[in-house]
A and B are shown apart, each in its own frame.
Chain A
Amino acid sequence: MLPEKRAHELERRAHRRRSIDRWFGRLGMVLTLTTLGILAVLLLNLAVNGLSRIDWHFLTSFPSRRAAEAGILSAWVGTLLLMIVTASVAIPFGIAAGIYLEEYAPKNRWTDFIEINIANLAGVPSILYGLMALGLFVYSFRFGQSILSGGLALACLVLPIVIVATRESLRSIPAMIREAAFALGATRWQAVWHHLLPYSTGGIATGVILAMSRAIGESAPLITIGALTFIAFLPPPALHSTPPFVSFEWLFSPYSALPIQMFNWVSRPGEEFQANAAAAGLVLMVITLSMNGAAILIRRRAQRNITW
């Protein structure tokens, strides 16, 4: 081939490559925005169909056979109580496990096994936690179809999220911090409590918020342990005016939850119930999206404020 012809050919190819690259860049941009657009459409759809149903009456009424009178009182109270149980189990156990595995555990077969176990646990379908809770908590431990069983099932479900978040934020602390603490005579325990935990609060808080947001939206495990969908009463109060003032009866009460209530409404025919479903979905979306937003902000701030 003649030199100038060859140069021309090369130029033509380079030009073609550049235009392919430009097109792919555009395609990627369009697809990214489209994918995000689906989220927007989803929110918009819920808002259009459900926003008009959300008022004080909706938040303070029990479910009803008449769609227009139905509300989500028992559902959000149930979700709140479930979260109290879930948080008080999953957070301490998850953080403890994370600290143990990252700072204490010797490297051997047993810890390798725990590692694989956690990776698998994070991928176990949520409905299997429901089956476990049904066999174990409901029937073997005789907790019944109660807030306690539901809360424990959700706690097991989000445990790996808390463990992984704790481990990752501990791992991102450079070894020199530990070495400096040890050099000053600190025990491992003191190094963890005085130095490592304070530095990793941002990461752990992010993980905890994401875990709780996951638990709030989860419905499959609650359905398998038989969360009733028509609950027109609230669990007994935790505080009393007479001694001993505190009661844990509510732990054993039947309950409803926001996603369960929404599922119940979705599966009913009739546009009015579907409007209720959209309204409940909107409440759920606002809660989970704002929790996720908060988690993103906390992570950003934690990253920005620390320079090793």
Chain B
Amino acid sequence: MVWILRIGGWASVLVTFGIIVTLVTESAPFFAKVPLIRLVKDTMWTPLFSEPQYGIGALLAGTMVTTLVALSVAVPLGTILAIYLSEFAPSRFRELVKPMLELLSAVPTVVYGYFALLALTPLLQKIYPDLPQFSMLSAGLIMGIMIVPYVTSLGEDSMRSVPMLLREGAYALGDGKLGVAVRVVFPGAFSGLAAAYVLAISRAVGETMIVAIAAGLQPRMTINPLESAATVTAFIVQVSLGDLPHGSIGYQSIFVAGAMLFLLTLGFNLAGHGLRKKFHRAS
């Protein structure tokens, strides 16, 4: 009877296998046609034009900028909340607030996209009248809010597992609560926090709907968050929305973008997993 259960265990491997095989086989014909060097050398990503350009850097730039904007919200805010909830907040308040914060990452991303485009962008336009309707800033900020709970909950868990003795030692030497949090607890929990940051990056890189709705669908080689630009994920959405004949260059190009995305997130996910394991072993 155990074989039934074992099949379940294999299912997860099969899914990974399915993803890798699909990405490789469907993007292989693309690489047969397009020399690899063009991915790096071209400065625009227009695989569907009659004179196509294949500079994937244009998509990666969009992904990088939205990710950086998101991290500039999620890392400081998430870390401060983690420190506050783990070291300062009364335990009843913490137990009440933690699940509520996690609701932020349960909100469907299409709803966040709506909010970024129709609520945050008009608000930002009041401050910055030149901001276009689609901007990486607006999408990135909302994405940052979405990933705050990832940083906070993992970060808070790792900070709370720092032994009380270490804190008491620092208190005995006369340090204050914030001093202990910053000089003792934070370094003690660093691998857990680093795992939280890395997993947050992976989330931001792979996030699709918020950027597809609010950051624009035009690939553009720019690092200015006030402009609109497509990310790797938004490009896949944009192409998928149109008619997509099996085997066309457009069809293949989304698998190329997908393969890129897979490699990027795989790196972050493995690093995050490793850091988390290290933290579990240490505590």
- Enumerate chain A interface residues (CB-CB to B < 8 A): 10, 13-14, 17-18, 20-21, 24-25, 27-29, 31-32, 35-36, 38-39, 41-42, 45-46, 92-101, 104-105, 113-114, 116-132, 134-136, 139, 156, 159-160, 163, 189, 210, 213-214, 216-220, 223-224, 226, 259, 262-263, 266-267, 274, 277-278, 281, 284-285, 288-289, 292, 296
Residue of B nearest to A20 (CB): B178
| Distance in angstroms between the alpha carbons of A124 and B264 in the assembled complex | 10
Within 8 A of A (CB), among B105-159: 106-115, 117-119, 145, 148
| Distance in angstroms between the alpha carbons of A38 and B270 in the assembled complex | 32
The stretch among B31-39, B44-52, B169-177, B183-191 that forms the contact with chain A is B169-177
- CB of A35 within 8 A of CB of B108, answer no
Task: For B88, give its contact among A25, A224, A296 (CB under 8 Å).
Answer: A25
The residue in B110, B206, B269 that gathers the most chain A C-beta atoms within 10 A of its C-beta is B110
| Distance in angstroms between the alpha carbons of A135 and B110 in the assembled complex | 24
B165 an interface residue at 8 Å Cβ cutoff? no
Task: For B202, give its contact among A41, A123, A218 (CB under 8 Å).
Answer: A123
| Distance in angstroms between the alpha carbons of A281 and B114 in the assembled complex | 8
| Distance in angstroms between the alpha carbons of A54 and B227 in the assembled complex | 35
Residues of A within 8 A of B15 (CB): 121, 132, 156, 159
Known: A38-B145, A100-B5, A281-B111. A289 touches B261 (CB 8 A): no
Residues of A within 8 A of B261 (CB): 125, 127-128
- Per CB-CB distance, the 3 closest pairs between chain A and chain B, nearest first, are A125-B206, A28-B84, A96-B8
Residues of A within 8 A of B203 (CB): 123
Q: List 20 A-B contacts (CB under 8 A).
A: A28-B81, A42-B111, A42-B115, A96-B11, A99-B8, A105-B9, A116-B270, A121-B12, A124-B206, A124-B262, A127-B258, A128-B258, A159-B11, A210-B106, A214-B106, A216-B108, A217-B107, A217-B110, A224-B236, A281-B114
- CB of B273 within 8 A of CB of A31, answer no
B60 an interface residue at 8 Å Cβ cutoff? no
Looking at the assembled complex, report how far the CB atom of B31 sits from the nearest CB atom of chain A, in whole angstroms: 16
| Distance in angstroms between the alpha carbons of A92 and B117 in the assembled complex | 39
Known: A39-B107, A223-B237, A289-B103. A135 touches B272 (CB 8 A): no
| Distance in angstroms between the alpha carbons of A281 and B108 in the assembled complex | 9
Task: For A259, give its contact among B81, B84, B108 (CB under 8 Å).
Answer: B108
Known: A128-B258, A289-B103. A104 touches B6 (CB 8 A): yes
B163 an interface residue at 8 Å Cβ cutoff? no
- CB of A131 within 8 A of CB of B81, answer no
B85 an interface residue at 8 Å Cβ cutoff? yes
Residues of B within 8 A of A226 (CB): 240, 244
| Distance in angstroms between the alpha carbons of A298 and B257 in the assembled complex | 40
Residue of A nearest to B115 (CB): A42
| Distance in angstroms between the alpha carbons of A300 and B237 in the assembled complex | 39
Residues of A within 8 A of B244 (CB): 226
| Distance in angstroms between the alpha carbons of A210 and B4 in the assembled complex | 24
| Distance in angstroms between the alpha carbons of A124 and B269 in the assembled complex | 8
B265 an interface residue at 8 Å Cβ cutoff? yes
Task: For B109, give its contact among A130, A163, A217 (CB under 8 Å).
Answer: A217
| Distance in angstroms between the alpha carbons of A171 and B241 in the assembled complex | 44
Q: B204-218: contact bitstring with A at CB < 8 Å (1 yes, 0 no)? A: 011111001100000
Count how many chain B residues have C-beta atoms less than 8 Å from C-beta atoms of the other chain.
84
Residues of B within 8 A of A292 (CB): 102-103, 106
- CB of B176 within 8 A of CB of A17, answer yes
- Known: A14-B176, A39-B103, A125-B205; 10 extra A-B contacts, CB below 8 A, are A10-B174, A17-B179, A92-B8, A96-B8, A97-B12, A125-B207, A125-B233, A127-B236, A130-B240, A266-B213
- CB of B2 within 8 A of CB of A100, answer yes
Looking at the assembled complex, report how far the CB atom of A225 sits from the nearest CB atom of chain B, in whole angstroms: 8
Looking at the assembled complex, report how far the CB atom of A141 sits from the nearest CB atom of chain B, in whole angstroms: 11
- CB of B8 within 8 A of CB of A139, answer no
B164 an interface residue at 8 Å Cβ cutoff? no
B59 an interface residue at 8 Å Cβ cutoff? no
- CB of A285 within 8 A of CB of B8, answer no
Residues of A within 8 A of B81 (CB): 28, 31-32, 35
Looking at the assembled complex, report how far the CB atom of B252 sits from the nearest CB atom of chain A, in whole angstroms: 11
Residues of B within 8 A of A101 (CB): 9
- CB of A224 within 8 A of CB of B240, answer yes
| Distance in angstroms between the alpha carbons of A59 and B4 in the assembled complex | 41
Task: For A266, give its contact among B85, B88, B113, B266 (CB under 8 Å).
Answer: B113
Residue of A nearest to B176 (CB): A17
Task: For B108, give its contact among A25, A104, A117, A284 (CB under 8 Å).
Answer: A284
Residues of A within 8 A of B83 (CB): 24, 28
Task: For A124, give its contact among B4, B77, B255, B265 (CB under 8 Å).
Answer: B265
B254 an interface residue at 8 Å Cβ cutoff? yes
Task: For A131, give its contact among B22, B101, B176 (CB under 8 Å).
Answer: B22
